Each structure stands twice: as C-alpha cells, then as structure tokens.
Amino acid sequence: MRHKKKKVIIFTVLAIFLSLVSFNVAKFVYYPAQINIFEGEGRILDIKYPFEVTNNQEDEIIEISVEDDNDEKNNKVKIIPLKNGKTNLQIKLLGVLPIKKLEIDVFPKLKLVPGGNSIGVKLNTKGVLVVGLEEIEGYDNKNYNPGYDGGLRIGDSILEIDGTKVKDADHVIELINKNKGKEIQVRVKRNENFLNFAIKPVKSKMYSNYKIGLWVKDKTAGVGTLTFYEPKSKVYGALGHAISDAETGKILPIGKGEILKSKVVSIKQGKRGKAGEIRGIFLETTDPLGKLEKNTDYGIYGIMYSKLENPIYTKPIEIAMQHEIELGPAKILTTTDDNTIKEYDVVIEKINMQRKLSNKSMIVRIVDKELLKKTGGIVQGMSGSPIIQNGKIVGAVTHVFVNDPTKGYGIFIEWMLKESGIKSQDKKRFKKVG
C-alpha cells in the first residue's frame, strides 16, 4: 500500500511539473521573435525555472546577467547592450532543450520631433482604381459588361492598356477609344498580384464612343495629423493607418503625392454611433511640406522638403518600445479649431503586446475636458496624433470607437518606424517583421 501511494505521489508531481512546463512553453511561443534594444538601455526578460536563457554567440554585442528576485527559481534575465549589431539568444528547458530563438537587434538611440500638425494629403494613384462596373447598352440594344466579363473586378488598379502606362481617368478613355472597338490588353494589379486581361470594348448607344463599363478614380485628398519627423533623414510619418478608397476599402497605390499645411475650419463632434470629423482646407498649395512616398496599413511616409519644428517640444525626444509603455496617464499632440498644436490628457487603458505589425496596439481614452468639449473625443482627422508618455513618443492615435468616441486605438511608434525605413546612424534600417 505504501509503495502504491509513493507511485501516486511521484506521478502527481510529474504531472504537475509537465503541465507547468507545457504552460510556459506555450507562453514562449508568443515571445517576440525579434527584440529591439537601444544602446545604453537594458531589457529584462522574466524567465522562470526550469527555463534558462543562453548566449552562445561570441560577437560581444550583448551580455546577459541574472538579477536575483529573492527566489532562485524566479530570477530575471537582463540583456545589456554593448554595441550596435544583431545577435541571438536561446531559451532552453533545463539549459539543454531549445524552446525559442530570440533575435536581438541593438540600435543607436533614435530621437524624433513630435508632430501634432494638421496636414492635408494629396495623392494621385498609380494607374487608376476601379471603383465600379456597369452595363453598357450597345447599338444592337443589348446590354454588355465588357470589363466584368473580361475579368476586371472592383478594387483592381489598371496600370497599362495595350502596353501604355495609364496616367489618369481621361487617359483610360483615350486608350480605350484609340483602337475603335478592337480587343485591348489590360494589365492590372490586384492585391499583390499582376494580371493581364483581353477585353473587347463596346460602342455605347448613349455616348457614341467605346466603353468597357468602368468607374475609375485617379486621385484623392484628405486631412490628417503628422506623427513625427526625423531630422537627420528628413523622414516623416503620419496617420498611423492607410489612405484607402471609400468605395472599395482598398489601399490606394501611390503614383505621386504630397503633404501640405492644413487649416482647421470646423469640427463635427463625435457622438455615440456616429464618428466626428475635423474639416480643413489646404494652405500654401504651391509650397508643400513634403513628398508622399509610401501608403501602408500602418501610416503614410515620405521626405520633408524643409526642417520641421514643434512649438511644445523644441528638441527631438526619444521613443519608447512597447515593453516600456505603461497603463495610465499620457498626452497626445493634435491641432483643433485654433490651428495651434496643443497637448491634451489621455489615459492608456490597454496595451496589446504584439509580435507582428498592427495599428491596434493600444486603447487610449481622452480625459482632457477642453478636448472633449471641442471634439467629443477622437474624430476623423486626428489620426496620427502622437502619443507621449514619460517624455517619450510611444505611438499615434489611429481609430475611434464609434460606440464610444472618447476611446480609440493607437499604434506603437516602433511599428511606424519599421514602416518608415528610417536609417539609424550605422546605416541600418528598422526591420519590418510583419
């Protein structure tokens, strides 16, 4: 009987041990595969027994030390950067079985000028965007939809017709009518794929010219907020989300674009169930602020033509990685009806630790009485407003909660930097991981 009890105890202890190991192995699956650290700053990993962190590299980029947590089985591992570069660590079970590989990237410290400026965005698309398909009544009184039947779909970007690059909507009409109804070759981009279609235009009974049944868009414009400016590279970032077509929801491909100074002329307050809006007009259209080069899910980016200054932060400030951000008070910089950048109180209510790029990294609530009185909370046009905590840029406002305009999402500044392609002092770029 005693022997049987001993076996039960052993199996129970073993089962508990294995369950704890399995739980922690699952936890490490969600550890970021890449950890960015700035020079002069450490990073602490909470690694519990029976797991250990090992460094088998001889590149002397980092060193690791174990900080005593008054419990030898719950020590914290501190990563100490020694020089700029890239190296690897291994999380191992009992110091033997590899569980997770961590890529450590040490960067020189990067400082940014915070934005908060209201900007106008002008964008000419690359090619033209298909926003609608329609039937054409021919001279035989029959209805045709040549574009749809030929393979075109809403959201396609038409790049070429018969080998000629498409400039704008009027150019499409010209190229379709050039061959007097003969079959044309159309090259499009659909998502990330390039496709070719053969389409035969139909002569419209109503308009007496040849058509393939398309509604297209070749340009767009809007108002948003600048997030940051990096003085050495002159790179800027804004919005924290993409410029998309309202009809199709597709990200607009950039042909040519610029950002300009914008003046806020009115504010439509946000209310539960209905998003508010900052309405602005473009200023100094002959003297744009910068070139628009990238339109991504995580913001728009380009190069400033001249130096940008912030009246509140007269010198560039540091950024904070996601592990440095805290729940609690923070500030946002934005421009409202007085056309002056102001700092307003917010609270960071939730932080989503992320392994991949997302523009829904944090939940932010507006608590500033002045801003709530002006806007009702977060409104369209505030996207890109930088979020500052403990004197560092931590991210930017991206989306409003329609059912509660006092709340919205924010994106981590590190994700925007990865998208921007800013070069650090040693000529490395922030690496995109998403």
> Which residues are designated catalytic?
241, 368, 383
**110 beta partners:** none
d(CA 194, CA 126): 13
325 CB-near residues (< 8 Å, 6+ apart): 348, 351, 362, 389, 394, 395, 412
Question: In 288-412, at which residue ranges do the beta strands (DSSP E only) sit?
Answer: 290-296, 299-304, 317-318, 328-335, 341-351, 362-366, 386-389, 392-401, 404-412
What are the φ and ψ backbone dihedral angles of 408, each rounded to 5 degrees? -165, 180
- For the beta carbon of residue 53, count every other beta carbon within 10 angstroms: 19
d(CA 357, CA 297): 9
- 3-state secondary structure (DSSP) of residue 274: strand
**CA-closest candidate to residue 115, choices 223, 226, 258:** 226
- Contact present, 398 and 389 (Cβ < 8 Å): no
**CA-closest candidate to residue 354, choices 25, 22, 33:** 33
d(CA 215, CA 278): 29
d(CA 302, CA 296): 12
